[in-house]
A and B are shown apart, each in its own frame.
Chain A
Amino acid sequence: MQPDVPSPPDVTWLHPSPRMWSARQAVLLLTTAVLLLVLGLSFGLTAGTTAALVSVGCVLAAATTVWLVLRGRYRAWGYAERADDLLVRRGVLVRRLSVVPYGRMQFVDVTAGPVDRVFRLSTVQLHTAAAATDARIPGLSADEAQRLRDRLAALGESRAAGL
């Protein structure tokens, strides 16, 4: 399932690392397990086996839905480096595509949260002078993040334009 963002013909899309999908799934699994344990035990001890089974069923159904949504979102992420600009696309329900010229870049940000660090992932974000610019690429492997950051910084410097 590839989201139909208007993709220029000569573009090869790159995607976040598969480890990002593992990280998302691990977080989901952990949350589901904790919920199952807490809800199942508390209902089972206070309201009987039927209530416990119903609550477990609800949690499993919710987890499956979230899993499907997360998978769609993970597959929707994509980015492409063109000669003059960076393309970033994302989203399933609301689909988005950003085109950011390298010359407009103010700075590049590389961040990694606690979960990301466990899975050796980083998020690269490109900032321009416009607050609305939306060019964030999550779930990149550390090497790719570093490569992208250096490349963007170099391109931004060579093509810099005033405000």
Chain B
Amino acid sequence: MTLDPGLPSEWARLHKLSPLLRSSRAVVALGSVVGTRQLMPGQHSNAWFDLGAVGLAAIAGTISWLVTRWRIHNGELQIETGWIRRESLRVPLTRLQAVDVVRPLLARMLGLAEVRIVVAGQGSGRTRLAYLTEDHAADVRARLLALAHGLEGDTPEPAERPVLSVAAGRIVRANLLAPGPLVLVAIVVGALALLAVNPTAGAALGGSAIALAVALALGLARKIGAEWDFTIAEAPDGLRLKAGLLQTRAETIPYGRAQAVRWVEPLLWRGPKWVRLEIDVARRRDRDRAEREAGASTRALLPVGSAEEAGWLLSRVLPGASVTPPPGSQVPRRAGWRAPLMRHNLHAWHDDAYMVCVTGRLRRCVVVVPLAKMQSVRWTQGPVSRALGLATVHADTAGHRFPGSAPCRDAAEAAQWMQLVPDLARDARQRAVKR
């Protein structure tokens, strides 16, 4: 049944090799425990017990596969899983925020892939189909997106047009031009210097320095691996982002689902004039660690690129948005008392479609919030701001990664915004509904 193309309207199982992959992690962990115990001298363990544990993990994986089934019914994706505690997930496809195809290394070797369905709200970590064959996963993604856009389920996958890719060399250089690697170099140099001056102290501290350096290097390698071979393709149903060296990940972000976009200019990237573009969709912060790591590493719309590339991409996601501050958008001079280091970067402005806030001391960040997506507007004023005649305006969105806050505005201007922005947001919402 899994060989049927497209979406099953009757209950179907996942791919036959799924239990192997899903329990592989447990098996590897158990295997390493068994291995070390066998190697340890003097500790005689019961080999049958260890084998039994591995077998149990495999059986549990198989049972989990046997009781998991899914189908598309009444415009909903339905997933039923669990043996002792049955779980039944119903995802209305019109509520779909994004669809990811993730391929971990082991799955890639077997030609399998996992489909993750991102919806607004909690528990999006569980709405996943793991695993399907790669072709089937691509097909399922296309059909889910077609259904989400209100088209027929068997609409052929729209052709995608690759528009932008980031060269591997630039990814590596960009990741090296970050605080982490500098700290790494500092640690190595410091350890060597200490070793030359005072060998005993150097040797004592060397161990922890090496451990720290290894941890930093591993983190760096993982980040480079996650951003490796980054390509963006444009399709009628949204932007496709693909990246990854060992584990590849393909995301589709449907148009009009961006809650906010952030444009980041780190201090060390000012030389090569690079920027990073990040996107926020409506998705709760996940408790699942793997999901959080993956989400943190790939929610970049563009991990590194020139200002022109980023500007072009921004205009695709939020048409008409600009990140260049218009004259008069800077905070008043007296805001320097409240934010002495940040003042020169603090800008904010709005038009009838977007509210844009610039913040950051060393790392300049521009957050663009479409007014049509704004959930509420808040005004706050602390005692220092009140004495200086300043106030902060916040634009709350359903995204959870970066807040849209315009700090230290002139109080009169902030008051004017509080009257204007809710009405502009209402009009923007109505325009979005009509379209």
Contacts and interface: CB of A to CB of B under 8 A. Distances in A.
Interface of A: 5-6, 8, 84-85, 93-101, 103-104, 128-135, 161-163
B360 to A, nearest CB: 20
B364 interface: no
B306 interface: no
Given A96-B378, A100-B376, 12 more contacts: A6-B411, A84-B426, A94-B380, A95-B380, A95-B381, A96-B380, A98-B376, A99-B376, A130-B396, A133-B376, A133-B378, A163-B257
A133 B419 CA distance: 17
Q: How large is the interface on B (under 10, 10 to 19, 20 to 34, 35 or more residues)?
A: 35 or more
Interface of A is mostly: loop
Contacts of A94: 380-383
A159 B383 CA distance: 37
B398 A98 contact: no
B411 to A, nearest CB: 8
A79 B403 CA distance: 24
Which of A8, A98, A131, A163 lies at the interface centre, i.e. has the most chain B CB atoms within 10 A of its CB?
A: A163
Nearest to B259: A163
Given A6-B414, A93-B383, A99 B378 contact: yes
Contacts, number: 94
17 contacts: A5-B379, A6-B379, A6-B416, A85-B426, A93-B383, A95-B381, A96-B381, A97-B379, A98-B377, A99-B376, A99-B421, A101-B429, A128-B398, A129-B282, A130-B376, A134-B378, A163-B97
B30 interface: no
Interface string B355-388: 0000000000000000001111111111100100
B376 A6 contact: no
A105 B144 CA distance: 27
Interface in B89-103: 95, 97
Contacts of B391: 6
A97 B376 contact: no
A161 B370 CA distance: 14
